[in-house]
Amino acid sequence: MNKNLGMLVLLIVIFVVTTLFQNRFVDDLNITNLINWTSLSAIMGIGVAFVIITGGIDLSIGSMVALVGCLLGIFISEDVGMHPAAAIICVLGISMLIGLTYGLLITQLKLQPFVVTLCGLLILRGLARFIANDQKIPSASLGYLSQHKLVHIPIPFISWISDGYWGMYKWNNTNNEYPLDDAGEKIALPLFQWVSILPPFFYLLVIAIIAAIFLNKTVWGRYLMALGKNEQAAKFSGINTNMMTILAYVICSLLAGVAGVLFAVNMPSVDPGSHGNFYELYAIAAAVLGGCSLRGGEGSIFGVLIGSAILSVLRNSIEFLGIRQLEFAVIGSVILAGVIFDEVTRKVMARRRAIQEAAMAETSVVGPLDDAPNPSG
């Protein structure tokens, strides 16, 4: 929880610093887009967190997003004419089947997760390009699943910052003056601005609640944590480690498929060669920033949400600040800093725990001797 608090502070700092340099960063439309893209990224991050907790990895998420997007567009096209609900069920079923295949290759043939999912990255991308004939696939006309403005929430002061340049009256940045209305008065801005919340936020909310309950309140969640901490010990304690590994990869692929559907309906078309590129890295980075240890056995859903928000805000900040060329360098530096912080914290806690255990052991040995009767007395 301490690390989550630190990551939350980092998120706030990035948001505030960007706003100081670019007041339009808190425009209502940009906040809506930030929440939307954070939600989509977090769905992938939660999926890969299940795999990372078991000590595994999935490098094929971006290719899965591309394959699902292409398949969905083809299934709903006039040539195939599949009902949208049936098409979504089919692509999610295919996603789960791919995850099952990963799990079987890892557990039955004892292949390394890195190798299996790296091959999956290449195979799925190749399949997407093949079935699309290397052409852009028009997106399915299912915008209501992702773009419908379900809820509007009031947020104070954002119009004062974005339109008034930190003031209560509208400000013209071009002329550096207050525009006037027909009566010659300065234009007052509303205290509250209504921000639209799109459906992906609510999908994420449901998925996050279910995932948190699964990991923290069920025996299967404890099994996953035990598997990641020590596979041999988990096996000797009676846990079906093969089944839990397979389950983790099925969940990861399913959520990657869900994200693939939502990303596809967010865009006018899906390019099989570039759609979803690097998405797996952002998902893994969100999980790692959120406290999921690549060694396995650690992780929280709340942390993944914060990690996803940090990456989304950071990418958006880079665009607003006009340093897009440095996007990967900045994000890589933040991720490296997060990993270093995690490692240093782990070592400090381990040293502190060792000192406490040594003190307790010394007390348990010295204590009875002090209380023992003196034979010479």
CATH (domain of 214): 1.10.3470
Q: Is the pLDDT score of 98 beyond 70?
A: yes
Other C-beta atoms lying within 10 Å of the C-beta of residue 69: 31
Other C-beta atoms lying within 10 Å of the C-beta of residue 230: 14
For residue 299, being part of any structural domain is answered with: yes
- Residue 144 and residue 175 in one domain: no
Q: Give the pLDDT confidence of 160-179 residue by residue, as tens digits.
A: 888 888 888 888 877 778 88
What's the number of CA atoms in the CB half-sphere (13 Å) around residue 348?
Answer: 6
Give the number of domains in the chain: 2
- Residue 238 and residue 118 in one domain: yes
- Residue 23 and residue 140 in one domain: yes
For residue 106, being part of any structural domain is answered with: yes
For residue 356, being part of any structural domain is answered with: no
**pLDDT score at 372:** 52
Range of the domain at 181: 153-197
**pLDDT score at 43:** 96
* 250 class by beta-carbon count within 10 Å (0-12 exposed, 13-18 middle, 19+ buried): buried
For residue 377, being part of any structural domain is answered with: no
- Residue 158 and residue 228 in one domain: no
More confident residue, 267 or 122: 122
> What is the pLDDT averaged over residues 44-73?
95
- Residue 68 and residue 9 in one domain: yes
Q: Can you say whether the dihedral through the CA atoms of 87, 88, 93, 94 is positive or negative?
A: positive
- Residue 217 and residue 180 in one domain: no
- Residue 122 and residue 160 in one domain: no
Confidence label for 377 from pLDDT (cuts 50, 70 and 90): very low
Pair of tokens at residue 47: 């999926």
Percent with pLDDT over 70 in the chain: 95
**pLDDT score at 354:** 86
Pair of tokens at residue 74: 């083809």
Q: Give the pLDDT confidence of 242-298 residue by residue, as tens digits.
A: 999 999 999 999 999 999 999 999 888 899 999 999 899 899 999 988 888 888 888
For residue 80, being part of any structural domain is answered with: yes
Q: Can you say whether the dihedral through the CA atoms of 149, 152, 158, 163 is positive or negative?
A: positive
- Residue 29 and residue 178 in one domain: no
- Residue 204 and residue 57 in one domain: yes
**Mean predicted lDDT score pLDDT of the chain:** 88
For residue 312, being part of any structural domain is answered with: yes
- Residue 297 and residue 279 in one domain: yes
Helices (H), the chain: 2-21, 28-53, 61-76, 84-108, 113-131, 158-162, 199-217, 219-229, 231-236, 241-265, 279-289, 301-320, 327-371
For residue 327, being part of any structural domain is answered with: yes
- Residue 178 and residue 91 in one domain: no
For residue 365, being part of any structural domain is answered with: no
Pair of tokens at residue 88: 């979504």
**pLDDT score at 376:** 53
More confident residue, 249 or 360: 249
**pLDDT score at 350:** 82
What does the alpha-carbon distance between residue 45 and residue 24 come to, in Å, rounded to a whole number?
28
What's the number of CA atoms in the CB half-sphere (13 Å) around residue 128?
Answer: 32
- Residue 45 and residue 159 in one domain: no
28-53 and 61-76 are packed helices; what angle lies between their axes, rounded to 10 degrees? 120
